[in-house]
Each structure stands twice: as C-alpha cells, then as structure tokens.
Structure 1
Amino acid sequence: MKYIALFSLLFVVSFLPAQSDAPAPDTEKYAEDVASLDNILEALYASISGEKGEARDWDRFHYLFTEEARLIPTGKNKEGEVGYRIMSPQEYVEGSGKWLEENGFFEVEIFREVAEYGSLVHVFSTYESYRSKNDEAPFMRGINSIQLLNDGNRWWVMHIYWLGETEALPLPAKYLPEN
C-alpha cells in the first residue's frame, strides 16, 4: 500500500508545473501573445525579428517557452555529416541574439501545417529569412518543426527543431504556399 501511495504522489507531482527562482515575467504584458496558436507563432517570429541595430524583446521571447524548452538546429556540416545542436532559449539568445541585432534579421512564416491531439500540438512552419523588412528576396528558407502545449490557460512552446533549405535539399512544394 505504501508503494501505491508513493507512486500516486510521484505521478501527480510529475504533472505540476516546474518552479523557477527567476523573477516572474510581466504576464499581463505578454498575455495576448500566448492566448492562441496564431498569436504565439506570430510572437515567436516577431520576437527574433528586427532591423539592424534594433534591440529584441528577449523577455517576450522567454515568456513563450516552457522552462525545459529546447531549440534544435540541424543540418550538414562542412564535412557533409548531418548534425544538430541543442539549446535552451537562453543559450539561443546568448549564441544568436547579438548577431541578430547587429545584422538585421526578419523571419516570416509563409506556410503552416498543424496536427493537434488534445494539449499536444505540432506545427510544421515554413519560413523565409530577410535582413530587412524592405528586402525583396529571402537570403534563407527552411522549416521549423514546433511542438506546443496548450495547458488550458495559455500556449507554450516546448521545442523548435529546424532545418534550413539547401540547394541539395529544396523545400518540398507541399510545404510552400500555393501561387
């Protein structure tokens, strides 16, 4: 009986939200960003986008993610081997934030495919990247595989796993907007 009670307690505790020592973000300021699937995806792209020299709202960016979220770029290295890197949202900011601000970067969703089952949501989001809003052609395209959670109160980004388009691996027509 003691083991059943212990198992039950561990089961219930495993579904409680993780606690953090970090100060609580301004939930009212970003509440609209996490109110719908469309809003959280728009906020995700907007939070990393901006003109050269324009500071990003990294508090907004962090607010979109669960504490354990991971960002995972993948692709071939110079030797032609497929690899990946796993980062927390903070590690992404530390590794890419300065570059995004110094060079200008806009990522725009051009196509979306959504699969949903209860609180589990997966989005295949095709993107184009620009250095400025005024650029006519993207310098990069790819697909973000985004896993999200809707806990009944708000939306959360769990993971983003992405692959950029290459000459050897063009984007399939089924993941592009119809002309």
Structure 2
Amino acid sequence: MKNIFIALFLALTTLTVQAQKKEKKGDKEEQKVFGIDSTKVTTLDKTIKTLYNTISGEKGEKRNWGQFKFLFHKDAKLIPSGKNKNKVHIAKYMSPSDYVKTSGTWLIENGFFEKEIHREVQKFGNIAQVFSTYEAFYSNSDEQPFMRGINSIQLMNDGERWWILNVFWTQETEDNPIPEKYLPKK
C-alpha cells in the first residue's frame, strides 16, 4: 500500500512539473508574439520606466499594449481620481484592459508623453509604494507640459519579477498644486 502511495505521489509530481514547464514555454511563446520583454520587470526602476514608456508616443504611434498589460498583476487596477462636475472627489476603477479600451485610441490620436520628474519610494520586504510625479506632453518635443500630477504605484515582487498591483493618480489643479517635496530639487 505504501508503495502505491509513493508511486502515485511521484506520478503527480512529474505531471505537475511537466505542466509547469509547458506553461512557462507557452508564456515565452506568448511574450514573443506580443512583443513582451520580460527583462523590463526585473527591477523596480525598470518596471516604473516601462510603465511610462508603454503609454508614451507621438501622434499616430502605436503602443505596445502587450508589454503594458504584462506589467500588471491579474487583479491590478488603474484608478484615476479627481473632482466631478459637482466638485466631489471620485475614483474610477479600471483593469489594464479597460484602460487600453478607454484611453488607448485617445493616446494614439493626440500624442501623449508622460515623463516622471520625481520619485519617492518606500519598500518593505517584497512590497513597494512609489509616489511618482509626472508631467504630460502631447509630443516629445513640447517644452511645456499640458498637465502634471502624481501616480501612487503599489508593487509586489514575487521573487522573480515586480508586478504592478495598482496605479492610483490625480492631476494637479489650481486648488491642489503638487507640494514642493514631490517636485525635483532645484
């Protein structure tokens, strides 16, 4: 009886390992098809830079939405916030796919560059909270941003890579200017 359990355990272990190898191979094939570079999530810095780079581009320039989605955990949310027409603070919750559906066409039709100008990072173990101040431009050659704000980005490292769990942001307004401590040092 003991031998049967050992044989069954070994068979299940072998099947599990084979399935994991097949899944990883499938993941790599999928990454190749969608132009995904898995090295862009190996460090916190690369992950944040890739977030900005994937949404940025000149008018008419396609974005790599496969790489964009690859940055995010399967349950991740993108959460813009601001005041509605009644001057009440609201937040809208979107998946990465929702973001692409609602904003992707606009980004390509208008041109959009979001550039990080300051970063504050807090880390504990495998989690990180990043306050990333940004400026937004319609073209990379624009000298003045049309908008500024702060992205609050929560990330987790699973031992192999960084995953974005949430990006929660708000734009700077006249009555809500970005505090000096979140701007580049002069």
Q: What TM-score do you get using the length of structure 1 for normalisation?
A: 0.85
Q: 1:138 is matched with which residue?
A: 145
Q: 2:182 is matched with which residue?
A: 175
Please state how far the C-alpha of 1:90 moved relative to its aligned partner: 0.1
Residue 104 of structure 1 is aligned with which of 111, 121, 128? 111
Q: 1:87 is matched with which residue?
A: 94
Identity of aligned residues (%): 52
Larger radius of gyration: 2
Q: 1:75 is matched with which residue?
A: 82
- Give the superposed CA RMSD: 1.5
Describe the superposition over 1:112-168 as per-residue Cα deviations: whole angstroms up to 9, x where unpaired: 000001111000000000000000000000000000011110111000000100011
Which residue type is aligned with residue 60 of structure 1?
Q
- More helix by percentage: 2
What is the total number of aligned residue pairs between the two structures? 158
For structure 1, the 5+ residue unaligned runs are: 1-22
Please state how far the C-alpha of 1:29 moved relative to its aligned partner: 4.0
Tell me the secondary structure at the aligned position of residue 105 of structure 2.
helix
For structure 2, the 5+ residue unaligned runs are: 1-25
Q: 1:155 is matched with which residue?
A: 162
Q: 1:26 is matched with which residue?
A: 31
Residue 36 of structure 1 is aligned with which of 6, 22, 43? 43
